Structure 1
Amino acid sequence: MGLPQPGLKTHDSFVAVEFDTTFDPSLGDINGNHIGIDANSVISFASVDAVSGGIDLKTGKKITAWIEYRDSVQLMRVWVGYSPKIKPPSPVLVAQIDLSKQLREYMHVGFSASNGQGSAIHLVDSWRFRTYGSLPSLSPIDAVEEGDCFMCPPEDSYNNVSPNDHHEIRIKIGDKELGLGGLAAFLFSIFVILVVFCFFMIRRKRCICSRSNEGQACRDQMNRVPSRLSLSEIRSATMGFHRNRIVGQGASATVYKGSLPSGDAVAVKRFEKANKINCTRNPFATEFGTMVGCLRHKNLVQLQGWCCEGTELLLVYEYLPNGSLDKILHKTGNSSISLLWEQRLNIVLGVGSALSYLHEECERQIIHRDVKTCNIMLDAEFNAKLGDFGLAEVYEHSSDTREATIPAGTMGYLAPEYVYSGVPTEKTDVYSYGVVVLEVASGRRPVDDDGTVLVDWVWVLWEKGKLFEAVDSRLKGKFNDVEMERMLMVGLSCVHPDYEKRPTIKEAVRSLRGETPLPLLPVRKPTVRIRSVLPADSEDVLNFGGDHSPGCDDTPWLTPRSNFN
């Protein structure tokens, strides 16, 4: 990028505003379309989703940026807009930074850009730089509360200020993105370099309402913006993170039940310290960035607040009194509840509605990557709510190609092609959904203690014409035969070994509701050949599904490139 290396002397320090269209988790990027402020490092200490501010950096349209610094309040603000003359009323990014010791009589202002492994055109159409002498503050902007971590936005929006009491830089940026690199690709950024270093905050992402038939419910929730909570508030709510308040535990976080002063019960997700988390992915940043921007749906667990102070990273969700579907379905914990047939059908329909929203109705497609009963919560009326977006991937709907990721998730829920390609798609979520459907209908785990795989077991029963033997015996025959047959057949269609033969989530939900005919299933479980990612000297094509020869084992599941639970 042509920037000084970090750790240099004071006179070599810099501050930069970046316009980044490449997502690189190793650099702390929140997504592939964001604006950030850097201090002596290409890793931003404050950043915001550009789309949440109404700007798409990848459209190729001319964009005007205003960057202002006010010495009286040590505040840097960034506005962006498509109009070259009209500055938006509110800044898209605000950060507190003290430049008093770095502002000198002679300084450099410039621009820098990089394509990484992609191909792009960077144009600076025109720019203007102005400075003014130190003037007393005339605006209530002085009363700005300092943030205390890289993920914390300011509490209030800020008013425009007169050009007579600040530094202003005005830039028109023509940004035409022609291609992106992968995870190894470096940032594409246009840097406006001023001088030095310090503090940070990001702006709340604006919610994007669903246009589905749940649209009205979505709009009703839009006014409930997640709020920032102090660490002392959360400690008080959870009795100091007392072990008796733990209601769930995962690989990267522990969930506590809490009670706010308002009397509302909440679920507090406390993430492990950063040094304990795989450095290639930050579950807190992924989940926060996904949830706060657009996820408003009645079948998604709702984010109510967050906190990040010091080394503590916490997300505060609505509390669902009936806990996870896994605990009720498999009688783990103290649950004595037995789900009725009507409740089970309603649960799988609710999860399907949530996934359909993520795949087709959000502004950008979201692949959950970890759909399982542990991540499906139940409210007081046993309505399902999908949660835990720590592994989620976000893509543009127009994206034709996707980079491979390290396969992650839980064995028994993973689509065969995903295990080997590492490429998450809506059809890999469909497979996981199909496993959940079969799990709810049968009451059996995806992989039993004896190693029996649920999907294979149900396929065998289908081949023998004994599909109803898969029904959970705890229902004691109290279910609708037509609906049960429909659920089991839809489940099998979703776990078809060939992803091209699987329905979309929306199609599966319509079938479950009886709005379309039963899916057509093959007489026997098909065999699908998938190219392996094993070393070149090993067998490069593997068989999935169907009968295996006596000498064939299940090693295709044991890919060496995976992070499984």
Structure 2
Amino acid sequence: VQLIIAEVEPSSEIVNDDNDILFYDHYDDPPVTKDRICSKIAGRCGLDIPNCLAHCRAFYPQKVLTKPLNSSTLLPFATSFIFSVAPIKKVLPGHGFAFIFTPSRGVNGTTSAQYTGLFNYTNEGNPNNHVLGVEFDIVQNQEEFNDINDNHVGVDINSLRSLSSHDAGFWGGKDDNEFKVLKIKSGENYQVWIEFIHSRLNVTMARAGQRRPRVPLISINVNLSGVLMDETYVGFCAATGRLIDSTKILAWSFSNTNFSIGDALVTDNLPSFVPRKGWFSGAKAIAVGVTSVVCLLIIGCGCVVFFILYRRNKAAEETEEWELEYWPHRINFEEIHAATRGFSEENVVVVGGNKSVYKGVLQGFEVAVKRITQEREGMQEFLAEVSSLGRLKHKNLVGLIGWCKKEKGNLILVYDFMNNGSLDKWIFECEDGKMLTWKERIQVLKNVSTGIQYLHEGWEVKVLHRDIKATNVLLDKDMNARLGDFGLALMHEHHGQVASTTKVLGTLGYIAPEVIRTGRASTMSDVFGFGILVLEVICGRRPIEEDKPGLIEWVESQMVLGQLHNAVDERLKAKGGYPIEEAERLLHLGLLCSNSDPSVRPIMRQVVKMLEGEM
């Protein structure tokens, strides 16, 4: 077996603390910027032993995290690699290879031949393996593993009996309904994309250099929480038996945050491992010559047409030089256009102000696509903030997937889609039967508070949201709350100056008094916004309503009268009631957070402890 992972030149190595891996081969020197994470793979593995049982593994040298610290939620990941499986002359090819997550880099407990260097006869199917693999199999073993054929891709969990498998190939054609087979063992270079997010695993493949297919080859829901260890190795394994092949990994990327990192892999000038065939002669040579001339004429005409269309579209989508710095999260406009069915009115979710939000399906995942009209002045700064915020990953924040700038002054942002919409629709604008219960409301506040604490303390820089309110809290399919809409967010160093702005931005009723006076935002102004959120969630009232006193003043008046429990949403009595003591404690917390004096307000770490009953 020959499993070769080419190393990058030392000059092109960059290493950081994130689970980001991106390496290139020797065949073409890639551009390297501060955002392109490059690293060598541990060890070169090259064995070529005819008629011998052999297996080989190659991994990234350090273990990668699969879960955030002190969390049971699995991190998403995106990986892409380019491979070639070439036959050996006069020998039948086998057995392919697999991309794997495994707790051990060693070969103990693994064997060659049909077990692909992944398992052996005794541990095959053992749930204690803690192995996730995506196999590229070129030998059919129906008796042991129920293989569908001798040219398939399969998702394996602790066993080579695939959870899901499909003929190797891709979906293409006008409506993505034409399946085209790719022969794994042909020696051709193929690119693979594997992504996992929100329990959905997608596997896609195509010829290296071709545009990524829109429809995944395999797309399944899978629970990996009991499969992957908190830290695990990631890499490749391959094996031969009496059947022999040569497997080469030419380029590889892996990230927990950047789902477009695979686009950075170099696909030009790669070596070819397709077995050479003899020259044509006689009548075949003439036929080939005539066919070649015709093909050249067709290609020439096509180039002329392409050039005309390219010149026509260049003006519409001109890339400005400063944009290149923020490449990791840029998405092709055509992909977004297709995902929303041409920004169809049927896909509109929200319309208001300077933005419209569409529901779409991008690379097999449901997404929310927001179109924003942004003033040209400050576009670069705004995009810098957006691109940086795309690196924020927390279970209680709405994830930014990417951005696109089709025309000057217009931005498109792509987010995770939240199936159950915004919080206000479950408190203010719903029938009593769909209204959130007391328990659900408390869980929402806990979710949002931990999200804000992460913004303030859990990242490399301090992030101020500046627009915390019910409409910016979104609920996913499991009714977990996530804080979204970072359109007004600011970042500054943890020990730097408090962020300031020349404009008072935010939503009336949620803006802290000191921000109105000074124009300076801080973590304490975010705490104020959260305090208002607590009051409106518990009271079922907006902070400002026509012909009614302000929410803070009204709750304070009830407290003065000794009737604070009367401020709780009356509709909750029909939803199973609520503990009066806990309700009053939370109303006190809301008033404390929304105190007019920022020095009196607690920090978010204290707020989280108060909600958990630890203070």
Q: Are 1:394 and 2:495 matched, yes or no?
A: no
Give the superposition deviation at 1:509.
1.7
Give the superposition deviation at 1:415.
0.7
Q: Are 1:267 and 2:368 matched, yes or no?
A: yes
Structure 1 residues without counterparts, runs of 5 or longer = 1-51, 56-72, 82-86, 91-142, 146-151, 162-196, 206-225, 517-565
Q: Are 1:202 and 2:299 matched, yes or no?
A: no
Structure 1 residues 363 and 339, CA, compared in 2 at 3 Å: closer, same or farther? same
Q: Are 1:156 and 2:254 matched, yes or no?
A: no
Q: Residue 249 of structure 1 is aligned with which of 351, 364, 380? A: 351
What residue number does 1:323 align with?
Answer: 421
Which AA in structure 2 matches 1:269? Answer: K
Q: Distance in 2 between matches of 1:398 and 1:200?
A: 28
Q: Are 1:285 and 2:383 matched, yes or no?
A: yes
Q: Distance in 2 between matches of 1:261 and 1:313?
A: 20
Give the superposition deviation at 1:157.
5.1
Q: Distance in 2 between matches of 1:419 and 1:158?
A: 51
Give the superposition deviation at 1:283.
8.6
- Residues 539 and 568 in structure 2, CA contact (< 8 A), matched pair in contact too: yes
Give the superposition deviation at 1:254.
1.3
Q: Distance in 2 between matches of 1:418 and 1:200?
A: 32
- Aligned to 2:531, the other structure's residue is in SS state helix
What residue number does 2:589 align with?
Answer: 490
- Residues 283 and 391 in structure 1, CA contact (< 8 A), matched pair in contact too: no
Structure 2 residues without counterparts, runs of 5 or longer = 1-13, 18-27, 40-208, 212-259, 270-318
Structure 1 residues 452 and 239, CA, compared in 2 at 3 Å: closer, same or farther? farther
What residue number does 2:412 align with?
Answer: 314
What residue number does 1:358 align with?
Answer: 455
What residue number does 1:236 align with?
Answer: 338
Q: Distance in 2 between matches of 1:456 and 1:475?
A: 22
Q: Distance in 2 between matches of 1:465 and 1:265?
A: 49
Q: Distance in 2 between matches of 1:318 and 1:512?
A: 27
Report matched runs for 1:342-421 at 5 Å: 342-421=439-518
Which AA in structure 1 matches 2:414? Answer: V
Which AA in structure 2 matches 1:285? Answer: L
- Residues 493 and 502 in structure 1, CA contact (< 8 A), matched pair in contact too: yes
Q: Percent identity?
A: 37
Structure 1 residues 245 and 336, CA, compared in 2 at 3 Å: closer, same or farther? farther
Q: Residue 426 of structure 1 is aligned with which of 523, 528, 531? A: 523
What residue number does 1:180 align with?
Answer: none
Which AA in structure 2 matches 1:507? Answer: Q
User: For residues 423-471 of structure 1, what are the alpha-carbon distances to aligned partners after superposition, in whole Å with 9 as ceiling and x for unaligned?
Assistant: 1110000000000000000000010122521111111111111111110
Q: Are 1:455 and 2:552 matched, yes or no?
A: yes
**Equivalenced residues, count:** 327
Query: CA RMSD of the aligned region, Å?
Result: 3.8
Q: Distance in 1 between matches of 2:361 and 2:477?
A: 17
Q: Distance in 1 between matches of 2:322 and 2:545?
A: 49
Q: Distance in 2 between matches of 1:325 and 1:239?
A: 27
- Aligned to 1:499, the other structure's residue is in SS state coil
- Aligned to 1:355, the other structure's residue is in SS state helix
- Residues 15 and 37 in structure 2, CA contact (< 8 A), matched pair in contact too: no
Structure 1 residues 462 and 318, CA, compared in 2 at 3 Å: closer, same or farther? same
TM-score, normalised by the number of residues in structure 1:
0.52
Q: Distance in 2 between matches of 1:321 and 1:406?
A: 33
Structure 1 residues 492 and 258, CA, compared in 2 at 3 Å: closer, same or farther? same
TM-score, normalised by the number of residues in structure 2:
0.48
Q: Distance in 2 between matches of 1:198 and 1:285?
A: 12
Give the superposition deviation at 1:483.
2.0
- Aligned to 2:263, the other structure's residue is in SS state coil
Report matched runs for 1:125-140 at 5 Å: none
- Residues 390 and 401 in structure 2, CA contact (< 8 A), matched pair in contact too: no
Structure 1 residues 511 and 89, CA, compared in 2 at 3 Å: closer, same or farther? closer
- Aligned to 2:599, the other structure's residue is in SS state helix
Which AA in structure 2 matches 1:492? Answer: L
Give the superposition deviation at 1:335.
9.8
Moved over 4 A (4+): 52-55, 75-81, 87-90, 197-201, 280-284
User: For residues 20-40 of structure 1, what are the alpha-carbon distances to aligned partners after superposition, in whole Å with 9 as ceiling and x for unaligned?
Assistant: xxxxxxxxxxxxxxxxxxxxx
Q: Distance in 2 between matches of 1:89 and 1:236?
A: 32
Give the superposition deviation at 1:364.
0.5
- Aligned to 1:347, the other structure's residue is in SS state helix
Q: Distance in 2 between matches of 1:379 and 1:198?
A: 36
Give the superposition deviation at 1:314.
1.4
Give the superposition deviation at 1:232.
2.3
Give the superposition deviation at 1:249.
3.2
- Aligned to 2:264, the other structure's residue is in SS state coil
- Residues 354 and 372 in structure 2, CA contact (< 8 A), matched pair in contact too: yes
- Aligned to 1:314, the other structure's residue is in SS state strand
Q: Are 1:299 and 2:421 matched, yes or no?
A: no
Q: Say which one has the larger Rg.
A: 2
Q: Report which stretch shifted further, 335-344 or 383-392.
A: 335-344
Which AA in structure 2 matches 1:315? Answer: L
